[in-house]
Structure 1
């Protein structure tokens, strides 16, 4: 199947789904589509709540596209590349509707940042998380503000430093990333559907005002995440990272 971003609205619930055949890794064009779709959907008066999910039943998101990462040859291109996740996170932050995350399986790097940017997140027991960026000579600079906001500095720094380890879904739940962990995708989907329907019974204006409070103190993230993207864009050109990426060619 080809990569896609698609959305549909039913009974005031919008479902946004992204997919990429390489374990739902996200190249720049898909990230741009995802950010645009989140913004457009959030401004739709027919939508009261948004469910964010990925296609397939194994991996939620493998992070950034390695094919694009390997081909970066200058700092400007690097900044643009890493700004892709920044735009998605900022679109989620500014979205006036609650975003429910549906994390069916493992998630890595930028995918953890997306999960952390949801307002309420469901997962299965298979949804282990890993921040692997240090392995290739960079760091989770763009996504770390979102992860730190949700999980705290201690948990974020632990998984950022321990870049080879997948942390189990229950650990992520204990640190605040996931609200609930289910035994199966079917169980999770039932909970997501029921929760979204229940949110639709609440006052939309109240939910919008609550979201503003939840994200208080992040007004500088347009600038902050752009700065972080520039750091990653510079480090990806380092001798260490270039040598490491050669192994993946």
Structure 2
């Protein structure tokens, strides 16, 4: 089987796994193993992005993953990864995410940036990102691996759209000048139990570092960030397993709160 045929085959398997809510075995061996060129995994992701667009799904932003130095070390990488966000992945603050929609979901608390300018320079700066950011919001990303038991390498997760599945944005926009992106504290609760805590600098020392990386990477890959796009900048604390009936409430200092609810079975 040719390389292009392998990439097409893996992309189809991942898409079918998502549609059937049935996890598959790791796909990295088909793409060259854990040491494979990450561009091969992004080629798989791009096929499913093109498939989604051809089906009429609307691309509305990107998520950034692997922004924790601890996770990067675990996976043997030295940079983040990204995945595509579509409009049909969005849920309202507190809206129930249907049971049976996902396979093995987890949640992460993040900072979302909403941009109002195209980011098309070869290299971007903090100033570019700050100028282009209309406002920020607290967010909860729902990640869900299509790979059995989350047994993923970098190659698996990149091919699988960076394990993205859904997201919830808060409803009170805040201007960046009112925020401390580095030192803002995050607390996630499930019921009365604190299940995750973190701080802005857990995301590549500053969420703006993640946004700069993404803007440059998207230009390099020919799909630049555009006005109106959402950027989920990366986790502020440990991810938490989500079960049917769970409700997660996130407070980020200066940002306000956001809630992700999972319908009971």
Fold shared, TM-score > 0.5 on shorter chain: no
Higher relative contact order (CA 8 A, sep 6+): 2
TM-score by length of 2: 0.29
Q: Which has more helix, going by share of residues?
A: 1
TM-score (norm 1): 0.31
